[in-house]
Amino acid sequence: MKLFYKLISQLLMISMVLLPFSAQAGMIGTDQAIASAQDLANRDKVRDFVSRGDVVKQFEAFGITAAKAHERVNAMTQEEVNRVAGKIDSLPAGASDDWVWITVVVVVGFIIYWVWYR
């Protein structure tokens, strides 16, 4: 048993001499941690947007497959992802103002009908 302990201790001494110890630790600031988390959230937001059904249909209308769109999102730089994510946030919720024009036409038509047949 002594021979076994002696062998193990010699292997440990040799490994400590020959193998380099290069561990580096440092503090990261809160701003770096928040920026990293925000970057990941923006990339997820763009991926989720590209995965939506209506967006996939629009891509297919342009001749782009959903897989190709995901590849393009993955190839984007972080600045591009942040810019696109900012544009996603500024889009209107309904994304269409057609109902406004339909309402205006109906109201104007009703006014013309009311004045004409009154």
- pLDDT tens, position by position, 56-106: 888 888 888 888 888 888 888 888 888 888 888 776 665 455 666 677 777
Cβ burial of 46 (10 Å; 0-12, 13-18, 19+) is buried
Q: Are 44 and 86 in contact (CB under 8 A)?
A: no
pTM score, two decimals? 0.52
Domain ranges of the chain: 34-94
- pLDDT tens, position by position, 9-38: 998 888 888 877 777 777 878 887 777 888
